[in-house]
Amino acid sequence: MCGARYASTLGEFTMAKKKQNFGKLTRDYLQHQRASHIEKTETHNYDGRNNNDLFGFADWVAVMDFKLPELWFIQETSRSNISARKKKICNSEIACTILDNPSSRIFILGWDKCKEGMWRVKKVEITSRDMEAGYLCVGELKEPYWKEG
């Protein structure tokens, strides 16, 4: 499936042969998926030498121009690291809140190169069902983190 330029709008997507970082690949992919507005939300902290994501997991936010607009929160990673990112998102309380909104969706885009030297992506959607498998569930009653009186 690596030989096709755009194999499918739901699963595989390949780019022309050249060295690219995930940011450029992700932006091109979202534009191909009809995003009307795309914003990179990941920032680099030079003092701590680490990256800060929106809500702890979103590298990108995109407004998708469908019949009913959707807000997509995107975590980009290597294809081999998808399961670790999925676990991180499924253990996030804010991700539960985001998925409570029917017009918001969370995706992981896992990038790798196939043997022809072309980039491909695996798109994984995080759903409420995935969140229930994590430590935090939608509607779960949690102990307050403060003490009263």
Global confidence as pTM? 0.72
Q: What is the pLDDT of residue 14?
A: 54
Q: What is the pLDDT of residue 109?
A: 92
Q: What is the pLDDT of residue 126?
A: 92
In 3D space, the residue among 69, 43, 38 whose CA is nearest the CA of residue 56 turns out to be 43
For tokens 């060295």, the residue is 19
Q: What is the pLDDT of residue 134?
A: 62
Are 87 and 134 in contact by the 8 Å Cβ rule? The answer is yes
Q: What is the pLDDT of residue 141?
A: 41
Q: Please, which residues bridge with residue 14 across strands?
A: 120
Q: What is the pLDDT of residue 13?
A: 53
Q: What is the pLDDT of residue 68?
A: 81
> Which residues of the chain register pLDDT less than 70?
1-20, 48, 133-149
